[in-house]
Amino acid sequence: MMEVAAGGAQQGRLYTVTALAAELGVTARAIRFYEDKGLIRPSRVGATRVYSHREHGRMQLILRGKRLGFSLREIKEFLDLYDVDPEHDEQKRLLLRGVRDRIRQLRAMSAALTRTLDELQAIELQVASDLER
């Protein structure tokens, strides 16, 4: 992490790709991937790409979105709305819609997993019983 002066005496935190990767627990390659997809936009200090507090926050949202199973397209839509909606109402509506859809998907997956587990346990019991004879 480096400290650079921004606007006179005001200090702004900037991260190198290595520092940001280490802080977020991802690889530099992952950060560059999200940069290539237009989800984050680093600045430059000389020849070095640097990431602001804003990009750090965006990366946290990206990683959380991925953990929750959202697609990059969905994450990008959400992040893009943040920039154009000062009250964040549209962003909240989009998030609510996405969260509700994801909950429905996960409930369906959970039901399918329960059925699969039940079937596998029945097979296990049958095969174990056959082997005991």
Shared domain check, 63 and 18: yes
- Residue written as token pair 């596998």: 120
Closest Cα partner for 59 from 82, 41, 74? Answer: 41
Shared domain check, 64 and 90: no
Shared domain check, 12 and 62: yes
Shared domain check, 1 and 65: yes
| Token pair listed for 34 | 């999200």
| Token pair listed for 53 | 């507090």
Shared domain check, 3 and 60: yes
Cα 64 from Cα 49, distance rounded (Å) = 23
Closest Cα partner for 24 from 46, 57, 54, 65? Answer: 57
Give strand ranges (E) for the chain: 2-5, 11-15, 43-45, 48-52
110 DSSP assignment:
H
Number of domains in the chain: 2
- What tens-digit pLDDT sequence spans the chain (133 residues)? 444 433 333 347 899 999 999 999 999 999 999 999 999 999 998 989 999 999 999 999 999 999 999 999 999 988 888 777 677 788 888 889 999 999 999 999 999 999 999 999 999 999 999 999 8
| Domain assignment of residue 51, yes or no | yes
- What pLDDT score does 12 carry? 73
For residue 31, what are the domain limits? 1-70
Using DSSP, state whether 52 is helix, strand or coil: strand
Question: Where a domain ends, among 70, 99, 118?
Answer: 70
Summarize pLDDT for 81-97 with one digit per residue, the tens: 877 767 778 888 888 99
| Domain assignment of residue 79, yes or no | no
Mean pLDDT rounded to a whole number for the chain = 88
| Domain assignment of residue 63, yes or no | yes
Question: Where a domain ends, among 38, 70, 102?
Answer: 70
Q: What are phi and psi for residue 83, nearest 5 degrees? A: -75, -30
